[in-house]
Amino acid sequence: MQFKFFNIPVNDIENAGEELNKFLRSHRVLEVWHQLANNNNGVAWHFSVKYLDSPKSLQQEKKQNDRIDYREVLDEETFTKYSCLREGRKAIAAEDGLPVYAVFTNEELANVARLPEINENSLTTVNGIGHKKAERFGKRLVAFYSDNSKKGIVNPLLNEPK
């Protein structure tokens, strides 16, 4: 546990207050104590902030490092399907002007790749893909995957035949 102290003059609350707000947003704050005081420099707010040692940014960095490497998790054939599905998702996202994760998450695509057969009905068996999502994006994803499978290009990134 740590403490940080701020003195914010009343006549400059906008500028000096931003430093306090920035600190509060970036740390795990336990307690804030404040007092209005009049001293030789004029009237000012005095803040004492009790916070944990690790800022939120370190926690967010830890979450980002917890990402799954699907190349290691999936077998070679499933990863090849997964890569093709990612390309399909990318095309759908570009067409609709959406971020790729709004179409399907990596976890959803990995679970689709694990399905024995990829079709519109089987998509709804994957956790996170409901009927609305399957209706909106599923048909195009299945069509993209089927087209590339028929052409023998299951992984357009590597151009490896199935």
Residues in the chain: 162
Share of the chain above pLDDT 90, in %: 48
Give yes or no for a contact between 30 and 52, defined as CB atoms under 8 angstroms apart.
yes
State which CATH number among 3.40.50.720, 1.10.760.10, 1.10.150.80, 1.10.3720.10 fits the domain covering 68-161.
1.10.150.80
User: What's the pLDDT at 53?
Assistant: 73
Of 13, 73, 18, nearest in space to 42 by CA: 13
Tell me the pTM: 0.55
**Residue pLDDT, tens place only, 41-86:** 788 888 899 988 765 554 555 555 678 888 888 999 999 999 999 9
The whole-number average pLDDT for the span 120-136 is 92
Half-sphere exposure of 154 (CA within 13 A, CB side): 13
**Residue pLDDT, tens place only, 7-17:** 888 887 777 78
